């Protein structure tokens, strides 16, 4: 699932409402069965905010035997801590950037995860998976070719490329390739 143009709201019951702009799913309540959203969210957050995900994994450890429920609880918890408030901009914008919102938490200052799961610090290191994508970009491969070579979805490759652009603070693949040649510990076979 493409994580773009999405707004989350924590509703009085404690559940999470999802609004996807430009889709047929206008508003719905997040459920375990929304695997596309949950899996995409887990993939992105595990890469970008690993400490926040790890904290939620620990919190919900008793539920790990039921993978769907476990991941649902993790994603719902991350949304409630960071994206569940109401403001005037999309929680996930058209570029796939997350815009954290201040949320009133009754455990602020007491929660062992406070300031780690809420308002988490982003991982700015290029991951090994991103490095593999970058190596193929440097060889002139297209997104579709890279997806086939690495047996990943087009979304995953685009997401990893966008993550690298954001992490390096550059705006095009040419700058990423330049970074790759200057800084990576690659070996050109």
Per-residue pLDDT of the chain (189 residues; tens, 9 = 90+): 778 889 999 888 889 999 988 665 668 999 999 999 999 999 889 988 999 999 999 999 999 999 999 999 999 999 998 898 877 788 988 878 888 887 777 666 667 676 667 778 877 888 888 999 999 999 999 999 999 999 998 888 988 898 898 888 888 999 999 988 887 665 554
Q: Tokens representing 115?
A: 């300031």
The label of the residue with tokens 């889709």 reads 23
The pTM is what? 0.73
Give the C-alpha separation, 142 to 28, whole Å. Answer: 35
pLDDT number for residue 39: 95
pLDDT number for residue 115: 65
Domains of the chain with bracketed CATH: 1-123 (no CATH), 128-183 (1.10.10.10)
Judge whether 90 and 83 are in contact, CB under 8 Å.
Answer: no
Give the C-alpha separation, 160 to 156, whole Å. Answer: 6
Q: Where is 29: in which H helix or E strand?
A: strand 27-29
Judge whether 76 and 38 are in contact, CB under 8 Å.
Answer: no
pLDDT number for residue 134: 94
Phi, psi dihedrals of residue 120, rounded to the nearest 5°: -70, 155
pLDDT number for residue 66: 97
pLDDT number for residue 114: 65
């Amino acid at each position: 699932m493409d994580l773009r143009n999405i707004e989350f709201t924590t509703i009085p019951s404690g559940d999470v409402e999802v609004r996807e702009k430009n889709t047929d799913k206008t508003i719905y309540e997040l459920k375990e069965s929304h695997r596309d959203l949950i899996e995409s969210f887990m993939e992105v957050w595990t890469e970008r905010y690993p400490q926040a995900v790890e904290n939620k994994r620990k919190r919900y450890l008793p539920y790990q035997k039921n993978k769907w429920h476990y991941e649902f609880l993790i994603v719902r918890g991350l949304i409630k801590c960071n994206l569940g408030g109401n403001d005037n901009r999309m929680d996930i914008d058209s570029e796939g950037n997350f815009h954290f919102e201040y949320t009133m938490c009754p455990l602020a200052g007491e929660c062992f995860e406070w300031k780690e799961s809420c308002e988490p610090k982003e991982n700015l290191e290029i991951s090994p998976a991103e490095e593999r994508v970058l190596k193929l970009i440097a060889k002139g491969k297209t997104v579709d070719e890279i997806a086939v070579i690495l047996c990943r979805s087009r979304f995953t490759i685009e997401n990893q490329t966008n993550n690298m652009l954001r992490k390096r603070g550059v705006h095009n693949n040419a700058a990423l390739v330049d970074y790759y040649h200057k800084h990576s510990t690659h070996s050109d076979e």
